[in-house]
Amino acid sequence: MYLVKFLLIGALWSIIFGEFSRFPFGNSGGSIYISDILIFLSLSCSFIWIVSKGLKIFIPRNFNLILVFYLIALLSLVFSLKDLAILEMAQGSLYLIRFILYSSVLFLVFNLSLNKILLKDELLKHLMFSGGLFLLLGFLQLLILPDFESPIFNLTDYGYDPHKFRLASTFLDPNFAGSFLILILVVCLIYLKNWWRVFICCLLSLGVVLTYSRSAYLMFLVTLTSWYFFSWNKFNLTQKILSVCLPIFLIALTFVIFPRFQERLIGGVTIDKSSEERFESWNKGLQIFKSSPIFGVGFNNLRVAFEKQNLFENYSSDGGHGGGGVDSSFLLVLASTGLLGFLTYFAFWISTLTYLLRLKSKIIFCLILGLLVNSQFINSLFFVPIMFWFFALLGTAYSEEA
C-alpha cells in the first residue's frame, strides 16, 4: 500500500505542471496527463494489494452515486452510437475513463487514511507545498509571458484564449488558475496554525486578484461568506469587527492598486463580451440537451455534437481547448448524459454537502459550496487538477468520521 501512496503523491505533484504535463494525440480533443498514468498505476496496485491480501475494501460515503453515474455515462456513450461513428464514441469514452480515475482518488485517499498509511496532515502538507510551487510558477508566467498573443510566442495559435496580463500559471487559463489558488488557500487555512498562515494567505489572495477572474472572485466570496456564517458565533467582538472591516479595507485597497480589478467587478454586473460568450456557451449546451434529453449525446461527446451542429465559434475549427465543453459543469453533465446522469450527479453533490454539514470542520463544506457556484461559470468540476484536489479533500474528510 505504500507504493499506492507514493504513486498518488507523485500524481498530486505532477498536476501542478498543468498543460506542460499534458501530451495531446490525434487532435486537440485527445490528450493524456502524467497524472492519468500515475493514478491508474496507483489504483491498479491498490486492487492487486487488496485482492492478494484479502483485505476489506472500505467504500466512502455516497460513493455508490458515483458508481451509478459511471453506468449512466457508459450507457449514454453506447446510445450515442446511433448518431456517431464508433471511433467518435471511443474518443468520448476516454474522458469517462479519466473521470473514473480521478473520482477514484476519493476511494484511494479514504482507504489509505483508514489504514494509517496516508495521514491527513501529510496529504495537506503535499497539497500546500505543491500549491505554493504553482503560485510561484504563476508569478513567473506574469514576468515571462504576460500576453498570450505575444508575437514571440502566440498561444492562440495552439487553441488557447488570448489572455493579457493575467496570472494563469501552468494551466494557461486564469479562470481555472484562480479557482485552484482558492483551493490552495483553504488547505493553508486548515494546515497552518502559525503566523506563516497570514503571509502565505496574503500571497495566495494576491495571486487570485491577478487572475482577474470573476468566477474565482465569486468562489472566494461564497467560500468566505459561508465560513463567516458558521464561525460568527465563535468570534469575540474584536474578531467580528475585524472580519467585517478588514475585507472592506482590503477590497478598497485592491481597487486603488489594481484598476483592472475594478473593471472586472463592474463587468460582473454588466453584459460585456465575456458574459455574452458565456451565455452563448450555456445556450449551446441547452441546444445539445434538447436534441437528446434522456441519455444525452454521450459523456464528453460535446465536441463532436458541436461540430455536427456547426456551433463552434472559437480560435480553431474544432473549438480549441475549450471546444469539448460548456461553461457550466452541471450543464455539461445535462447535455452529455441527459436527465438521468444529471440527477445522479446532482444527488451526489447534495448528499456530499449534507454530510459535510455534520463534520467538525465546516471549511471544506464552505469550499465545496464555493466551488459548486464557481462551476456554473467555468467547467471547474471536470478540470483535472481541481477534480483531483476536491476528491482528495473529500477522502480525508470522510475518513475522519468513518
pLDDT band at 241 (very low <50, low <70, confident <90, very high): confident
Whole-number Å distance between alpha carbons of 137 and 237: 39
For residue range 134-178, list pLDDT tens digits in order: 999 999 999 999 999 988 889 988 888 899 999 999 999 999 999
Residue 142: how many other CB atoms lie within 10 Å: 15
What is residue 369's DSSP assignment?
H
Whole-number Å distance between alpha carbons of 330 and 375: 8
Domain ranges across the chain: 2-401
pLDDT recorded at residue 321 = 52
**Higher per-residue pLDDT: 346 or 297:** 346
Whole-number Å distance between alpha carbons of 322 and 175: 12
- Global confidence as pTM: 0.91
Among 394, 391, 370, CA closest to 382 = 391
Q: What is the secondary structure of 179-217 as a DSSP string? A: HHHHHHHHHHHHH--STHHHHHHHHHHHHHHHHT-HHHH
pLDDT recorded at residue 277 = 81
pLDDT recorded at residue 323 = 52
| Secondary structure class of 134 (helix, strand, coil) | helix
| Secondary structure class of 55 (helix, strand, coil) | coil
Residue 276: how many other CB atoms lie within 10 Å: 10
Instruction: State mean pLDDT over 306-311.
Output: 69
Instruction: State mean pLDDT over 59-86.
Output: 89
Whole-number Å distance between alpha carbons of 200 and 382: 27
Beta bridge partners of 32: 23
- Kind and range of the H or E element at 49? helix 34-53
For residue range 363-402, list pLDDT tens digits in order: 999 999 999 999 999 999 999 999 999 999 999 999 887 6
Residue 29 has pLDDT above 60, yes or no: no
| Secondary structure class of 30 (helix, strand, coil) | strand
pLDDT recorded at residue 270 = 64
* φ and ψ at residue 24, rounded to 5 degrees: -75, 155
CB 12 within 8 A of CB 392: yes
Residue 315 has pLDDT above 50, yes or no: no
Whole-number Å distance between alpha carbons of 230 and 227: 5
Question: Which cell is 205 given?
Answer: 489572495
